Amino acid sequence: MGTALSGRGRRKGGRNKIKKYKRATWLGRRAKDTDQIQDEIEKSEVTGVPADKFEYDDELPGGGQFFCVETGKHFADAKALADHKKSRYYKRRCKGLKEEKYTQAEAEKAAGMSKEILPPAHAK
């Protein structure tokens, strides 16, 4: 009636159970965080060196000459970069970069780890 390979018994796809292969996949394509990009922009303003200028590198797309600072991505040519700057992803990232940095003090306050300033126990 049915073959051994059809039906529920057959496993689809090459799902690998070895964790070292899984780990590299999602970290490899991860975009830079907004605070990292804000640091790079501040550093370029202080030093006066533009953050989007790279020396020619064969390893990078477009030789590293077409770089978007706001998203931290390299593009193959000027047209691809221009199209990217019209995209929704780019516009959302720019809007997020205009917000203030999230500091450690804010994180502690949100977690309820406030630092109370108590009045002195004994008056002088």
pLDDT for residue 29 is more than 80: no
Least confident of 2-6, 34-38, 45-49: 2-6
How high does pLDDT run on average in the chain? 79
Q: What is the percent of the chain with per-residue pLDDT over 70, rounded to a whole number? A: 77
Average pLDDT over residues 29-41: 83
Each residue's pLDDT tens digit, 63-93? 878 888 888 888 899 999 999 999 999 999 9
- Alpha-carbon distance of 112 to 115, in angstroms, equals 9
Q: What would the CATH number be for the domain defined by 49-102?
A: 3.30.160.60
- Alpha-carbon distance of 64 to 111, in angstroms, equals 41
Q: pTM for the whole thing?
A: 0.57
